[in-house]
Amino acid sequence: MLVFKIVFWVGTVMQVIIRGPFAISARSRNKTEQHGSHLENILPVLLTIAAGILPLIYTFTNWLAFANYSLPVWLGWAGVFILIVSLLIFWRAHVDLKANWSPSLELYEGHTLITNGIYRFIRHPMYASQWVWAIAQLMLIQNRIAGPASQILFLPFYLLRKNAEEKMMLEKFDNPYREYMQATGGILPKL
């Protein structure tokens, strides 16, 4: 349905609006450390294709029509709800991180360990929001190629990035981060 495509693209614009001010601020801060690999620079490009280009092709052309599927309307509306949840998690993570947010594995002057807000419950809410987004994408972009593309490409990105990020945080914050890891879940709250 057209409404689900529109919701997907409004959500995409909302992600850009949420992240925009933090991305601008990150450019002006002094980096003290930069971690990351060549692969870590390639995977975001592939994610952009999966989460943006393929849904764009699905939305505005018939090139992927051979792979379309139809879900019950209620599942599409469930996708709308899930996308909203994803955006709320994404927004809250940025607001709680404030000046500690970085587009890649970087540390800044005065970088602090954030353990409040949504970070009180999970260590990786932005990754959690992207997993939730990928589920919504399956329901809103009803195509066997463009629908699951985010999930398929986000998995290697998440595994690579999460491990590198936690290593960086352990090197920077040592025992306080270790204790934080014990107290919280990664992308789901610890029971």
Q: Report pTM.
A: 0.92
How do the domains of the chain map onto residue ranges?
A: 2-26+39-183
- What was the pLDDT predicted at 129? 97
pLDDT tier at 104, thresholds 50, 70, 90: confident
- In the three-class reduction of DSSP (H, G, I as helix; E, B as strand; rest coil), residue 99 is classed as helix
177-184 average pLDDT score = 96
Which architecture does CATH list for 2-26+39-183?
Answer: Up-down Bundle (1.20)
- What was the pLDDT predicted at 81? 98
- Tokens for 139? 């329901």
CB 32 within 8 A of CB 111: yes
